[in-house]
Amino acid sequence: MTDPRDDLGPERVGHATRGLTWEEPLLFERSVRGRAGYSLPDLDVPDADPADAFAGDALRDDLPGLPELSEVDVVRHFTRLSTWNAAVDLGLYPLGSCTMKYNPKVNEALARLPGFASAHPLQPAAEAQGFLELAWRLERALAEVSGMDRVTLQPAAGAQGELAGIMMIRAYHEHRGEHRRVVLVPDSAHGTNPASAALNDYRVVSIPSGEDGILHPEAVAQAMTDEVAALMITNPNTLGLFETHIAELCEIVHARGGLVYGDGANLNALLGIARPGDLGIDVMHFNLHKTFSTPHGGGGPGSGPVGVKNLLAPYLPVPMIHRREGSEGVGFSLDYEFPLSIGRLHANFGNVGMFVRAWAYFRSLGPEGLRRCAEMAVLNANYVLAKLRGTWHVPIDRPVMHECVVSDQALAATGVTTLDVAKRLIDYGYHPPTVYFPLIVHGALMIEPTESEPKEGLDRFIAALSAIVTEAHSEPERVRTAPHRTRHGRLDETRAARRPVLRWQPDPPPS
Amino acid sequence: MTGDPSRFIPHTEEDIREMLAAIGVESIDALFACVPDKLRLNRLLDLPAAASEQEVVRELSALAARNSHAEAQPWFLGGGIYAHYLPAAVHALASRAEFYTAYTPYQPEISQGTLQTIFEWQTMVCALTGLEVSNASLYDGASATAEAVLLAMRATRRERIVVAHGLHPHYGDVLRTYLRALAVDIEWLPRDPDGRSVPVAPAIDDATACVVVQSPSFLGPAQDLRAAAEAAHARGALLIVVVTEPLSLALFQAPGALGADVVCGEAQGFGVPMSLGGPALGFLATRDRFVRQLPGRLVGETVDTRGRRGYVLTLSTREQHIRREKATSNICTNQGLCLLYATIYLSLLGRVGLRKLARLNYAKAEYLKRRVRETPGLSLPLAAPGFNEFVVGVPDSAAAALARAREAGIVGGLDLAPYEPELGPALLVCATELASRASIDELVARLADVDGPVPGAAP
């Protein structure tokens, strides 16, 4: 059987796995008694026996659950494991709403400087002035980008940022003696939005998007009551569409005393173009790992700073960073003087390593470079959409911002679904787009190329998607059983959930 | 960089022309026609102009140089984030871009490296805690503690919380923040004179969801976990044990073996750079029967179409992207890169090395304690034993004692005045394997030396 990939030309990128593929067992299966991967210094103080201070059963006498491996074993293990991952540094990773842009190497080098990586959160502020200044500058930069007044860097991820934002909204209303119970969330929203609202004991009311994929003032006006604490909105939304009525939506909510929360997941599209604060948003989170190039780390750590307008500033988490100018020059300190604060969200300052990377990114790009990100990201998404139109069903065919959504509807007769397409894309060397999201599009494939991908890379990706359509008609079984070229075939997720095996054990658990 | 194309954005002018033509618009600006004019910024952002890579490095290096750090100085400051030696192999492996430029392993066929690592992490956490199931990590020890309490409330359908004395004060703050919107009654127990919490039993009633006990406590002493477990279970409550120095788990009995239902906390001490406290590595483990109450990601074993063993994210019906407002939490990430650091670190140290390292820490701390005990002016106000951290009473003020240590280039510990003022002038001091005998002797001398030169004064 010929592989249509071979028609894609000699320059195709992202071959899946054609070369060496390594086998590698679990660490525990590699373990050999007596091996060591450590090198500890000799004791230069008298030894102390904990049994002198503690009763016998308070102490552990062995740690049989940990492996015994040499450094060579460990290095080979993790190096081999690394070759089983797709990654931005290997090729296009068009995961919609995740903004898998390139993570500059200089950011990594700077985050590893000992003055950042080996500094401690509780050292006196006088001995952490470099960190405090960096954090303060990053705060100001995020405020400028978003049109917000103050920014807290503390939330460790976008979801924790949402939690902080909704907590501040709740505190604001309660301080005014109002006990509002409802949060409005569009049906196209990320699942974190309703979950964050629910954690704050709010009832979630879903707002339907219009047939054109965006929110309409009438829908919000109809749901807006004095019970509503906030509208949560993602702009551009998860269909990649700019919420054209945003200013009017905000006015409707504000007129009844509500606030508007902005989910900043898709901020990349707006850098230097428009600012959420100017559109009427009162509070929003940023995802430094999306918009500001900090790495996704295999699923975290992220970083989710939150910006607020002045009306919410009294409720910000503590500590905030205070800049003072005095006779001795400029200095920075920690400010706990927020009596109405929602309190602390992180044991320390948040994901400082990510602040360093994000600030390096701001400095590398400047205002023109940031706007260029938005422009090229939007150019790439519209280019992909233009090239897919015709072969793929586009459920809402309008100019998009940073991402576009197509569906498997045109493939219905072939029996090939979105999941099959995603798995077959892997054979062509691509990480699949986000699939089956947003929920309002049946069989959605949500494609966010970001500004990092060149035209010829997009052309190859588009060619792969077109080839899969052809295959779906000519060889549907080949698509339905993909991937074929990976180390693993499709994995049985049902089995994993039905009989969960969540750790390795020396003997198989009794069935 | 002025005039140079951006090295992160590959588009040439010709690419742009061709792409615009394919889209059917005249200009880049026309792509933004959907943004109403009155909502446009129409000016450049007010940010510093772009700098070249060498300028960026110079600027940020200058900022880094204004922070004290543990690679340049003897370091006795802990309090939840610990200075340990980081083997070179940890950074070398964790810096592989195949790990750190990947995302959440939604597509298991091309994410087995991340998934197998998480499965190995979950297994190690179970071994260390003595429990049966661990999630794929949480933001930090504080949010892990808050999530553990929410888990206990779901599992017991009760809404009263008892917190033993000695929970890290910042964790207590985060717990209050998380529980703000819920009608929860939290009872905070006082300290026993020996440094441990007073017994928890009298505070537990039939409405109590859980008892939270940090051990070793924020002030250092190991707590009586067996008694706490018995007291909690006698009233149908769960015992949550919080650990902020994970290396202590290699010395002490696994909390699960003593009756803990949940063990959670901070695992930064396992080879994750301190990085001013973040990114950190929250962990949370519990018993099988609570698995469906767990927050956050979980990785499970399965097989593929060819019968080959592999790993996937599993039990996602607990999570926000499926359950939306009915999810167990709103979390949609874990600390993947940090758990990679910790899993590599634990693989290197292993079954024997980790215990040796824990003994090394214990011996250093005991030596420091002995020197304090022998030194006039210094004291050990809390009698209960602990691991590598404890309280030292100083003769004058904590700030002055720390300033004297700083004069000798030593970061001497944490001033406890904001946290435990009734202890009088006191420091929380931590000795890890990094502390040399000479630096310990010097620290003790400086803390006691009230008649020495006044720091900062003219000679």
Q: CA–CA separation, B333 vs B322, rounded Å?
A: 14
Task: Point out which residues pair with B163 in neighbouring strands.
Answer: B188, B212
Do residue B274 and residue A121 have CB atoms under 8 angstroms apart?
Answer: yes
To the nearest whole angstrom, how far is the Cα of B263 from the nearest Cα of chain A?
Answer: 16
Which residue in the block uniquely carries the two structure tokens 């945003």?
A: A246
Are residues B326 and B228 located together in one domain of the fold? yes
Domain count, chain B: 2
Residues 6+ apart with CB under 8 A from A406: A385, A388, A392, A393, A394, A395, A444, A445, A447
Give the DSSP letter string of B135-199: -S-BS-HHHHHHHHHHHHHHHHT--EEEE-TT--HHHHHHHHHHHTTS--EEEE--B-TTSSBPP
Confidence of residue A511 (pLDDT cuts 50, 70, 90): low
Put simply, the answer to whether B250 touches A373 (Cβ < 8 Å) is no
The CA distance from A117 to the nearest CA of chain B, in Å, is: 4
Cα A378 from Cα B25, distance rounded (Å): 13
Domain boundary among B330, B345, B360: B345
pLDDT one-digit tens code per residue, B99-151: 999 999 999 999 999 999 999 999 999 999 999 999 999 999 999 999 999 99
Partners of B60 on chain A (C-beta within 8 Å) are 110, 113, 134, 356, 359-360, 363
Asked if A493 lies within 8 A of B308 by C-beta distance, the reply is no
**Is the domain of B223 the same as that of B259?**
yes
Q: Is residue B81 part of a domain?
A: no
Residues of A (171-210) whose Cβ lies below 8 Å from B: 171, 190-192, 194-201, 204
- Residue ranges making up the domain that contains B212: 88-345
List b or e across A205-231, with b for residues whose CB sees 16 or more CB atoms inside 10 angstroms. bebebeeebbbbeebbeebbeeebbbb
* B431-440 per-position pLDDT tens digit: 999 999 999 9
pLDDT tens, position by position, B82-102: 999 999 999 999 999 999 999
A58: chain B residues, CB-CB within 8 Å: 222, 252-253
Give the DSSP per-residue string, A439-494: TTSTTEEEE---TTS-HHHHHHHHHHHHHHHHHHHH-HHHHHT---SSSS--B-HH
Q: Which helix (H) or strand (E) holds B63?
A: helix B53-64
Which chain A residues contact residue B284 at CB under 8 A? Answer: none
Instruction: Please answer whether residues B338 and B279 qualify as being in contact, where contact means their C-beta atoms are separated by less than 8 angstroms.
Output: yes
Question: H or E stretch including A277?
Answer: helix A276-279
Residues B337 and B270 in one domain: yes
* Contact A292/B at CB under 8 A: no
Answer yes or no: is pLDDT of A13 > 50. no
Residues A128 and A115: their CA atoms lie apart, in Å, by: 9
Q: Does A68 touch chain B (CB under 8 A)?
A: yes
The CATH code of the domain that includes B159 is 3.40.640.10
Contact B18 A455 (CB under 8 A): yes
Lowest-confidence pick of B19-23, B165-169, B209-213, B318-322: B318-322
Instruction: Give the contacts of B325 (CB within 8 A, at least 6 positions apart).
Output: A194, A195, A197, A198, A204
Which residues are bridge partners to A87 per DSSP? none
If you measure CA to CA, which chain B residue comes closest to A25?
Answer: B116
**Distance to chain A for B437, nearest Cα, Å:** 6
Is pLDDT at A17 greater than 70 in this prediction?
Answer: no
Kindly determine whether residue A300 and residue B336, on different chains, have CB atoms separated by under 8 Å: yes
Q: Answer yes or no: do B371 and B437 share one domain.
A: yes
pLDDT at A20: 65
A388 and chain B in contact, CB less than 8 A: no
Residues of chain B with pLDDT > 90: what percent? 91
- How far apart CA B94 and CA B114 sit, in angstroms, is 11
Per-residue pLDDT at B377 exceeds 60: yes
Domain termination residue (choose one: B345, B367, B391): B345
Residue A216 tokens, joined = 């309409």
Chain B CB contacts of A267 under 8 Å are none
- Taking alpha carbons only, the member of B150, B145, B152, B148 closest to residue B235 is B152
Residues B148-206: tens digit of each pLDDT: 999 999 999 999 999 999 999 999 999 999 998 887 999 999 999 999 999 999 999 99
Question: Nearest residue of A to residue B326 by CA position?
Answer: A195
Could you tell me if B159 and B222 lie in one domain?
yes
Mutate to test the interface with A, among B1, B4, B9 (most CBs of A within 10 A): B9
Is some CB atom of chain B closer than 8 A to the CB atom of A78? Answer: yes
**Which CATH number is B388's domain given?**
3.90.1150.10
- If one counts every other C-beta atom within 10 angstroms of the C-beta of residue A178, the result is 12
Within 8 A of A420 by CB-CB distance, chain B residues are none
Residue B267 forms part of a structural domain: yes
pLDDT at B329: 76
Question: What's the pLDDT at A508?
Answer: 64
Q: In terms of CA atoms, which chain A residue is nearest residue B49? A: A366
Contact between A119 and B69 using a beta-carbon 8 Å cutoff: yes
* Residues B328 and B417 reside in one and the same domain: no
Query: Measured between beta carbons, which residues in chain B are less than 8 angstroms from residue A78?
Result: 93, 96, 117, 340, 344, 347
- Could you read off the pLDDT of A473-485 as tens digits, one per residue? 999 999 999 999 8
CA distance linking residue B114 with residue B112, whole number of Å: 5
Taking only the tens place, the pLDDT of each residue in B424-433 is 999 999 999 9
- Give yes or no for residue A21 having a pLDDT over 80: no
Q: Do B356 and A115 touch (CB under 8 A)?
A: no
Query: Which chain A residues contact residue B300 at CB under 8 A?
Result: 496-497, 500-502
Amino acid identity of residue B416, one-letter, is L
Look up residue B418 and give its DSSP letter.
T
Same structural domain, B361 and B310:
no
Of B46, B103, B106, the CB nearest to A144: B46
A75 touches chain B (CB under 8 A): yes
Residues 6 or more apart whose CB falls under 8 angstroms from that of B164 comprise B189, B197, B200, B211, B212, B213, B214, B217, B223, B228
Do the Cβ atoms of B277 and A121 come closer than 8 Å? Answer: yes
Question: B169 and B306 in one domain?
Answer: yes
Tell me the shortest Cα–Cα distance from A87 to chain B, in angstroms.
4
* B371 Rama sector, left if φ>0, alpha if ψ -120 to 50, beta otherwise: alpha
- Quick check: A87 and B38 in contact, CB under 8 A? no
- Nearest CA to B320 out of A225, A263, A224 is that of A263
Partner residue facing A85 (CB), from B102, B168, B222 = B102
* Contacting residues of B for A120, CB less than 8 Å apart: 68-70, 75, 77, 81, 83, 274, 276-277, 411
pLDDT at B69 over 60: yes
Same domain? B219 vs B323: yes
Q: How many C-beta atoms lie closer than 10 Å to residue A398's C-beta? A: 16
- Tens digits of residue pLDDT in A40-55: 999 999 999 999 999 8
Asked whether the predicted pLDDT for residue A4 surpasses 70, the reply is no
Interface check A419 vs B, CB under 8 A: no
Rounded mean pLDDT, A301-322: 97
pLDDT tens digit string along B256-278? 999 999 999 999 999 999 999 99
CB contact under 8 A, A163 and B330: yes
B271 with B92: CB under 8 angstroms?
A: no
Q: Are residues B201 and B308 in the same domain?
A: yes
Number of cross-chain residue pairs from A and B with Cβ atoms under 8 Å apart: 689
> Judging by beta carbons within 10 Å of its beta carbon (0-12, 13-18, 19+), is residue B233 exposed, middle or buried?
middle
Report pLDDT digits (tens) over B304-321. 999 999 999 999 877 777
The mean pLDDT value for B334-353 works out to: 96
B148 domain residue, yes or no: yes
What does the block give as tokens for B57?
């490095």
pLDDT higher than 50, residue A5: no
Strands B414-415 and A150-152, sheet pairing: unpaired
Mark which of B294, B318, B345 sits at the end of a domain: B345
Q: Where are the alpha helices (DSSP H) in B217-335?
A: 225-234, 320-323
Which of the residues B93, B276, B318 would you substitute to probe the A interface, choosing the one with the greatest number of A C-beta atoms within 10 Å?
B276
Q: How many residues are present in chain B?
A: 459
Kindly state the percentage of chain A with pLDDT values over 90.
Answer: 89
Cβ atoms B129, B285 nearer than 8 A: yes
The dihedral of CA A149, A155, A158, A163: what is its sign? negative
A218 touches chain B (CB under 8 A): no
Residue in chain A closest to B412 (alpha carbons) equals: A123
* Domain edges within chain A: 108-364
In a domain, B92, yes or no: yes
Nearest Cβ partner for A379 among B19, B280, B322: B19
* Mutate: best of A26, A370, A375, A502, partner B, most B CBs <10 A: A502
Q: Note the CATH number of domain A108-364.
A: 3.40.640.10
Return the SS3 of B238: strand
Tokens matching residue B262 = 């949940």
Of B64, B77, B367, the CB nearest to A115: B64
Q: Is residue B65 part of a domain?
A: no
> What ipTM was estimated for this complex?
0.96
For A150, list phi and psi in degrees, rounded to 5: -130, 155
Give the nearest chain B residue to A301 (CA atoms). Answer: B335
Residue A407: pLDDT band (50, 70, 90) is: very high
Q: Which residues pair with A261 in a beta bridge?
A: A232, A283
Q: Give yes or no for a contact between B109 and A488, defined as CB atoms under 8 angstroms apart.
A: yes
Please give the average per-residue pLDDT across A416-437, as a whole number: 96
Is residue B456 over pLDDT 70?
no
pLDDT averaged over every residue in chain B: 95
Give the DSSP letter string of B26-47.
S-HHHHTTTS-GGG---S--SS
Are B408 and B272 found together in one domain?
Answer: no
- Do B370 and B332 share a structural domain? no
What's the gap in Å between the CA of A303 and the closest CA on chain B? Answer: 9
